[in-house]
Amino acid sequence: MPRLAIKICGLSTPDTVGAAVRAGTSHVGFVHFPKSPRHVDPEQIRALAAAVPAHVERIAVVVDPDDALIARLVDTGALSAIQLHGKESVERVAAIRQRFGLPVWKAIPVKTGQDVDRARDYAGVADRVLFDAKTPEGAALPGGMGLRFDWTLLKERTMSTQWGLSGGLDIDNVCDAIRITQAPLIDVSSGVEDAPGIKSVDKIMTFCKAVSAC
């Protein structure tokens, strides 16, 4: 089995970005969404990404963005891909990918098996789908709340596109998540924090070590 890809998402400081790189992560994520405690603006993303080596991908996470917002992020020259974490349709994902020429990820909120099936709609359109826990109706945030879904919904599924697992992952449960889902990429945010939006260097390092030992 190839080495598991790890994305540390919601990074906002140079020391935690550095920790993620030193720990061997394959992807770092920057959230541009004002309602999030992890929000960073385009200039912060540019500065944080400048310290990230070329072999580590740099992902901007946005929620139902308009083209002007995406353009501001793309113009930083800092990004490897855009992650869409709202209610973007298949058509919207395709339009963003065509206009901006960057790989596009689409988060799929999951509560039931039918939610997992929705990923098929994005095959050939999104470069990767990311299965995340569905947040409660009316929640201020579409993710990053430490919620998890029933991982057995992904067990022995054949995916028609690249994919990853998110939602409620932490140091204590990540090996179970990998064993059950066989996910090729895992995405952690709140599971390596001391408080919402406050990443822990120690937890980032420990999480990545735990994954290596799974």
- Residues 138-191 have pLDDT tens digits of 555 555 556 789 999 998 888 889 999 999 999 999 999 999 999 999 999 999
Q: Is 175 among the residues known to form the active site? A: no
Map out the domains of the chain with their CATH numbers: 5-213 (3.20.20.70)
pLDDT in tens, 34-64: 999 999 999 999 999 999 999 999 999 999 9
pTM: 0.92
∠ CA 84-86-91, nearest 5°, is 70
User: Exposed, middle or buried, 46 (CB in 10 Å: 0-12/13-18/19+)?
Assistant: middle
| Catalytically annotated residue among 64, 67, 127, 132 | 132
Cα–Cα distance, 28 to 79 (Å, whole number): 10
pLDDT digits (tens, 9 = 90+) for 58-116: 999 999 999 999 999 999 999 999 999 999 999 999 999 999 999 999 999 999 999 99
The predicted structure's pLDDT at residue 141: 55
Structure tokens at 61: 């996470």
Residue 32 has pLDDT above 50, yes or no: yes
The answer to whether 67 is a known catalytic residue is no
Provide the 10 A C-beta neighbour count for residue 2: 5
Which of 9, 170, 187, 208 is catalytic? The answer is: 9
